[in-house]
Amino acid sequence: MMNVARIMGGTFLGQRSIREKWLVLCKELITLAFDGRCIRLLICAVGVSAPCFEALRSLARDLMELGATGVMIAPSQALRTDEQIVNYFGGAVEAVGADLPWVLQDYPLTLSVLMTVSVIARIVNAQTSCQTSKTESCSTFDPCTNAPCR
């Protein structure tokens, strides 16, 4: 009897400069070939951050139709204040629909947007469709204390 490992879920990130190629890639990732059989991931969140809410909405809906179980949204690189960040996520959720499960992505090293724990808590508490957060810290910022690392 063959021992088969189960894949419970996955997160797919990438640059989506060419929308059609991203959709094709995501369709292939959502259904994986394993040992000659197709298996579906139980949990699959795909990054949909885009320069405008209309593009974010369109991409999110298309990916959900392909079989994603949720989407991952990162803040726009232009955001600097706590209020701008909180308001951005409110607009993003309104754009994709409050019924669509999503993951908050915090990656300050690439995005140059620093979200404190209190800002993330405000977003998660205000947006009930947020399922979890994917938080990564850079070497100069401690997200737990909001203080520079030493």
3-class secondary structure per residue, the chain: CCCCCCCCEEEECCCCCCHHHHHHHHHHHHEEEECCEEEECCEEEEECCCCCHHHHHHHHHHHHHHCCCEEEECCCCCCCCHHHHHHHHHHHHHHHCCCCCEEEEECHHHHCCCCCHHHHHHHHHHCCCEEEEEECCCCCCECCCCECCC
Q: Provide the residue type at 35 as one letter.
A: D
Confidence of residue 10 (pLDDT cuts 50, 70, 90): low
Give the model's pLDDT for residue 64: 84
CA distance 23 to 10: 16
Question: Which amino acid is present at 114?
Answer: L
Query: Which of 59, 55, 71 shows the shortest CA–CA distance to 103?
Result: 71
pLDDT in tens, 59-81: 888 888 877 888 999 999 999 99
Tell me the mean pLDDT in the region 39-68: 79
- Predicted model pTM: 0.72
Fold designation for 9-135: TIM Barrel (3.20.20)
Sign of the dihedral defined by the CA atoms of residues 104, 107, 112, 117, in that order = positive
| The pair of three-digit structure tokens given for residue 26, joined into one six-digit string | 């995501």
Out of 9-13, 24-28, 58-62, least confident range: 9-13
Mean pLDDT, the chain, integer = 76
Q: Give Cα separations from 14 to 88, 134, 139 (angstroms).
A: 21, 15, 22
pLDDT per residue as tens digits for the range 85-120? 999 999 999 999 999 999 999 888 888 898 988 999
Q: Is the pLDDT of residue 46 over 90?
A: no
Q: How high is the pLDDT of residue 95?
A: 96
What Rg value do the Cα atoms of the chain yield, rounded? 17
